[in-house]
Amino acid sequence: MKARAIRIHKHGGPDVMQLDEVDLAGPEPGQVRVKNTCIGVNYADIYEREGDHGGPHSAKEMPITMGHMAVGVIDAIGEGVSGRRNGERVGYIGPDSYADYTNVQAARLFSLPDAVSDLVAGGYLLRGLTAEYLLRRLYKVGPGTTALVHAAAGGMGLILGEWGSLLGARMIGTVSSPEKAEVARAHGYETVINYSSEDFAVRTLAETNGTGADVIYDGVGKMAFLKSLDCIRPRGMVISYGTASGNVGEFDLQRLHSKSIIVTRPTLRSWIADPEEAALASKALFDVLSGGEIQTPIGKQFSLDQAVEAHRHLESRSATAPIVLIP
């Protein structure tokens, strides 16, 4: 069948993406074909478009179909697949999602509960699963935990703030403007620091009686990482889960020595590789989303042929909620 897909034929800026008509074979054994209804736009997509293979995705042969997650409905089922049906609503974390249709391994699908719309699932599946392992497994937050989150008003920042607060942690967020500070305060952050007008490390130490945060969630990278080491408590953990401002690069390991700081650079792929862990993670996420315990605002919605504009908007760092493509 013919399908539309956003592909790149070389690495570069947003303009290297183009809408192509491609031949899509039927699903192979073990696969289903998903008719995508809502596609998440994430920084992982930017890393791949730019050719940043120091991130979670390895180099691929050109042309590359963009995208790493979507939700939709099953419209064809390959041999050997059981327990799935045509018309079933599903989500997936996987390649080639910037398209009308995508063939996906059936074992990697997430069934969507009725209480979670396609729009919310498209905006929050990847971010929500990331927040789940960051808050509940990599560093288990709860009452008595003080967590500092960079880019608190962004798509990841919003769900980290609300879910962390729901788990009982004290959430401190950094933002770049007074307007974003208001957004962060409305999504679980007790304290919000505008790093454009004050030193976030100094303020974090002041807010924690000089001790520092227990855990720091850094999706910014180059602009925030090293200074974060100045405001983490002894034996605390700095989690570099994204690099929106650029890769951290090399740094002196001795910076960690005096306070026995733990630093990690995780990726979601490793934390949902085991099917049983993935099922438990998705259940935790969908329970939270279905229960109405956290807000799920959606940012700008773009059509598939507006992927260039969607990437520019995400890179502008003006987005205060997840961005999606609607095929």
Q: What is the CATH number of the domain that holds 239?
A: 3.40.50.720
Q: Is 172 helix (H, G, I), strand (E, B) or coil?
A: strand
| Residue 19 near residue 4, CB atoms below 8 Å | yes
Q: Specify if 58 maps to a domain.
A: yes
| Residue 311 near residue 41, CB atoms below 8 Å | yes
Range of the domain at 115: 2-124+270-326
Sequence-distant (6+) residues with CB within 8 A of 243 are 43, 47, 52, 55, 219, 220, 221, 222
Same-domain check for residues 287 and 238: no
Q: Specify if 281 maps to a domain.
A: yes
Same-domain check for residues 202 and 164: yes
CA nearest to 240, candidates 256, 258, 288, 1: 256
Alpha carbon 203 to its chain centroid, in Å, reads: 27
Same-domain check for residues 99 and 199: no
- Count of domains observed in the chain: 2
| Residue 116 near residue 290, CB atoms below 8 Å | yes
CATH code of residue 59: 3.90.180.10
Domain-ending residue, one of 265, 283, 304: 265
Q: Is 28 helix (H, G, I), strand (E, B) or coil?
A: coil
pLDDT tens per residue across span 236-265: 999 999 877 777 788 889 999 999 999 999
Q: Specify if 234 maps to a domain.
A: yes
Q: Is 18 helix (H, G, I), strand (E, B) or coil?
A: strand
Q: Is 162 left (phi over 0), alpha (psi -120 to 50) or beta?
A: alpha
Helices (H), the chain: 43-50, 118-133, 155-166, 178-185, 200-207, 225-228, 268-271, 275-290, 307-315
Torsional sign, CA 17, 19, 25, 27: positive
What is the bridge-based pairing of β-strands 213-218 and 232-240? parallel
Q: Specify if 153 maps to a domain.
A: yes
Token output for 86: 């045509």
pLDDT tens per residue across span 3-55: 999 999 999 999 999 999 999 999 999 999 999 999 999 988 998 999 975 55
pLDDT tens digits for the chain (327 residues)? 999 999 999 999 999 999 999 999 999 999 999 999 999 999 889 989 999 755 555 678 999 999 999 999 999 999 999 999 999 999 999 999 999 999 999 999 999 999 999 999 999 999 999 999 999 999 999 999 999 999 999 889 999 999 999 999 999 999 999 999 999 999 999 999 999 999 999 999 999 999 999 999 999 878 889 999 999 999 999 999 987 777 778 888 999 999 999 999 999 999 999 999 999 999 999 999 998 889 998 999 999 999 999 999 999 877 778 899 999
Rg (CA), the chain: 20
Give the C-alpha separation, 304 to 325, whole Å. 6
Q: Specify if 19 maps to a domain.
A: yes
Q: Specify if 113 maps to a domain.
A: yes
Token output for 294: 């956290």
Report pTM.
Answer: 0.91
Q: Specify if 129 maps to a domain.
A: no
Q: Specify if 157 maps to a domain.
A: yes
Same-domain check for residues 116 and 152: no
